[in-house]
Amino acid sequence: MGGVRWAFRCGSWSPTRSEWLRAARCVQREEKERIRQFVFAKDAKSAMAGRLLIRKLVSEKVGIAWDQIHLDRTAKGKPFLANPATHAANRKWNFNVSHQGDFAVLAAEQGLEVGVDVMKTTRPGSSSIPDFFRIMTRQFTVHEWTTIRAAGSDLDQLDMFYRHWALKESFIKAIGTGLGFNLQRAEFHVAPLAMVEGQLYRQSRLHLDEEEEDDWVFEECLLDKHHHIAVALGRSETPGPERPPWSFCDSAPSEFTVLSFSDLISGAMPLTEEDPAYWDIFKVKQDAPTRQSDTN
């Protein structure tokens, strides 16, 4: 069984009353309350999609009934399946979600550590691109800044910046370290320098503490011309029997499938009663802050 790569376009999702209330009934009560508290509709939609993506994965791939799934978070905030491992398949699937820009995305594999990050190239809201880079200087190594600044125009440089950022975040999310990790420890040598929509790449390499890492592979793609996705795949302590303990060459990279809302909730089961006030709270939220403007 291959990996799973799903994406949902939150940015263009304008949920109807029935869609939002149905979605709310199909996530755990504590997650529903957490989503209720988001100030902006954009963040609420992204968080809702992320939880539905995970439940869809567990229901379809792990084989646990939707209304029996129990999700929890690590101390660092990484979601995980908290159901008892009643059979081997429960232990083999690792997954991760990310939401930024217009998409929520999920990546999952059996027998591998997984981290995923999506980044949309957006102009800094309160400074020029060179000033923004000066503020972010310590987040990247000299080699990485050389690659970023050699990319071309300011917008090309910004695009390369977010590509590097997605790679770093995917690695940090895979290892579950959180905010305490020094980003300069993880240096990426990206290849190819230019990516094409519709293509998947595994050429970029990680140098951790100045040593090239053979235990990590990074998949990269463009969902569209503004959205970079990076998937970090690392050695697991409990690899599944379907593949060798460490091999990335036995299968082609998995492409991201963009799901509709109907796809997202196919097989979903309600966990709570309908709460009409949940829609009333959502519909008055401002969509998003105006700190940043998109490149398009």
Residue 87 scores a pLDDT above 60: no
Asked whether residue 261 falls in the same domain as residue 285, the answer is: yes
Q: Quote the domain boundaries for residue 87.
A: 1-109+250-290
The band of 242, judged by pLDDT with boundaries at 50, 70 and 90, is very low
Asked if the structure places residue 240 within a domain, the reply is no
- Residues 6 or more apart whose CB falls under 8 angstroms from that of 75 comprise none
Shared domain check, 122 and 104: no
How much is the average pLDDT of 82-110? 83
Specify if 241 maps to a domain.
no
pTM of the model as a whole:
0.90
Pick the more confident residue, 242 or 231. Answer: 231
Same domain, 71 and 3: yes
Co-location of 227 and 275 in the same domain: no
Q: Are 103 and 118 members of one domain?
A: no
Lowest pLDDT segment from 173-187, 212-226, 254-268: 173-187
**Is there a single domain that holds both residue 96 and residue 153?**
no
> Over 90: is that where the pLDDT of 293 sits?
no
Q: Looking at residue 194, what is its pLDDT?
A: 95
In a domain, 207, yes or no: yes
CATH of the domain at 140: 3.90.470.20
- Report the pLDDT value the prediction gives residue 68, as an integer from 0 to 100: 94
DSSP assignment of 207-226: EETTEE-SSEEEEEEEEETT
Say if 244 falls within a structural domain: no
Instruction: State residue 18's pLDDT score.
Output: 98
The Cα–Cα gap between 81 and 99 comes to 19
pLDDT(4) > 80: yes
The encoded tokens of residue 164 equal 């590097």
Domain count of the chain?
A: 2
Q: 77 pLDDT band (50/70/90 cuts)?
A: confident
Residue 292 has what pLDDT?
A: 44
Q: Is residue 295 part of a domain?
A: no
Residue 142, C-beta contacts closer than 8 angstroms, at least 6 positions apart: none
Residue 281 CB: number of other CB atoms within 10 A? 13
Same domain (yes/no): 118, 92 = no
